[in-house]
Amino acid sequence: MHCTRVLTLIPLLFGLVYSFNWDIVVGGENWLEFYYEGNLVRKERTNVGRIFSVAADPIEDRVFFADDNIYMTIYSYNLTSKQKEPLVMRYSRDYFPKIVYEPVTKALFWMEGHHIYTLSVKPSVNNHFNNTQNRYYERVRNSSNGTVLITTDDVISDIAVDSCGGYIYWSIDKGIERARLDGTEKEVILSSSVYDRRSLALDQATQRIYWTEMKAKGSESTIESADFKGKNQATIQYVYQDVTRVYNIVQEKRAPHSLTVSKDYIFWQNFYHSDIWQVSKPTDVNEGVNYMPKKINTLPCKESWYWQRVAANYKIQDQIRGVTCNALRSLIGNDSIPGSDSQTEQSESVCKNYCLQGVCMVSDDKKPICSCKAGYSGERCEVNACQDYCLNDGVCALKENKRVCQCPADYEGERCEISTFLVNSIHAVSLLKNLLNTDLTEFTLGKRVKTYDPNVA
């Protein structure tokens, strides 16, 4: 069964844009689609078979993808030159692999069935086959098939790499395991059997792993999270999985796949459906389950339920913000990493004595910007909201972002503008005036006559 691509009236950029912003890349029939903030911004024809797995390079302007032609081929694709280079070709018809790229060692990893393979893609390593040879047996003969790194008793459902710690993780229905990038020190970090544990992703910024699972047959799927050692597990998202018909057969529910993490979001693709969803990445896994995911797009291919077709554009400077990771930090200049030593020195130089009542930050164009304390405003936080607000020596204070005056004993009012002495004086004069308009003698004598009776003892 083949998918028919329904074209929409979206302006696509073929060969016109060489530098663009994108959040995720999605593989399709023979194309790559790039999305930014939920919108399709670029589409690239690959002229290969159907793409079932993609991976992004967090440093260079390139992606990796694998197709399912007669032989599975893994390509490197340069987004600037639009040149693709075949790196691996191998016969693989039983399982659809997932590929990941590790930038420190410059190695590709992929899984097939019970095995995890690896291949160096350093420029000095000659892995690719001769493109001038068109016959498949010649291409396979001159290609690299990679090296088996890990062999397990269970079928591997997904893999992820930790560049900072130097680990590769893999998920199976019985749990999650990991080993060093050279295949040594294998260990189980999560031992928990579920009906279906499918997709796996890793985030350096939060120091957590994420995966999708279905605990029991027919139950709802969830996105789970734990730290890098498998501890502090938490459910962060329930994923609604409606039963659908494929080939006119009602299918069972399965856990979603294509899980990937970016700076701000978690993305996934629903099983049996081609819906791509995103949800904000939790800042605190203990804050509860997020029930408000957003659907980005519905892809036309309905038979792609095993494919890992979505990859996030997660740049290194965003991955290691606030995280100690010398391995990744060494790959890029410190000036591009928020919080780096050189950037801190630059901030101190530009910001020195600039903000009078606030915190100074450096903008992208190297200019100081002030974040003022409560009650202060102005470019340098030089304007005091309380200045000259309270009159007559009143003391100004902020309460719930509103100015409140504490007035001295002889003043009152919102700004201490009313003299209580003057008010009392006016009241006294008014009272006296009323009294003066009365016959005090008559009032007093009458009172006294009325109250004095000599016949009463």
Place of tokens 């967090």: 58
Place of tokens 């699972």: 213
Nearest to 278 by CA among 247, 310, 320: 310
Percent of the chain, pLDDT > 90?
24
Percent of the chain, pLDDT > 70?
67
Q: Which helix (H) or strand (E) holds 385?
A: none
Rounded to whole angstroms, how far apart are CA atoms 141 and 133? 10
Q: Tens digits of per-residue pLDDT, 412-450?
A: 999 999 988 765 666 566 666 666 665 544 444 333 333
Per the prediction, the chain carries an average pLDDT of 75
Rounded to whole angstroms, how far apart are CA atoms 10 and 392? 66
What band does 72 get if pLDDT is binned at 50, 70 and 90?
Answer: confident
State mean pLDDT over 124-137.
44
Angle at 142 between CA 140 and CA 143, to 5 degrees: 65
For residue 281, give both structure tokens: 């990445």
Return the pLDDT at 131.
42
Domains of the chain: 24-319 (2.120.10.30)
Return the pLDDT at 34.
93
State mean pLDDT over 334-351.
53
Nearest to 260 by CA among 214, 209, 186: 209
Rounded to whole angstroms, how far apart are CA atoms 305 and 303? 6
DSSP assignment string, 172-213: ETTEEEEEETTS-S-EEEEE---SEEEEEEEETTTTEEEEEE
For residue 397, give both structure tokens: 């204070």
Return the pLDDT at 257.
78
- Of 249-258, 306-315, 385-394, 402-411, which gets the smallest average pLDDT? 249-258
State mean pLDDT over 172-183.
92
Q: Tens digits of per-residue pLDDT, 38-53?
A: 888 999 988 887 888 8
Nearest to 31 by CA among 43, 14, 18, 13: 43
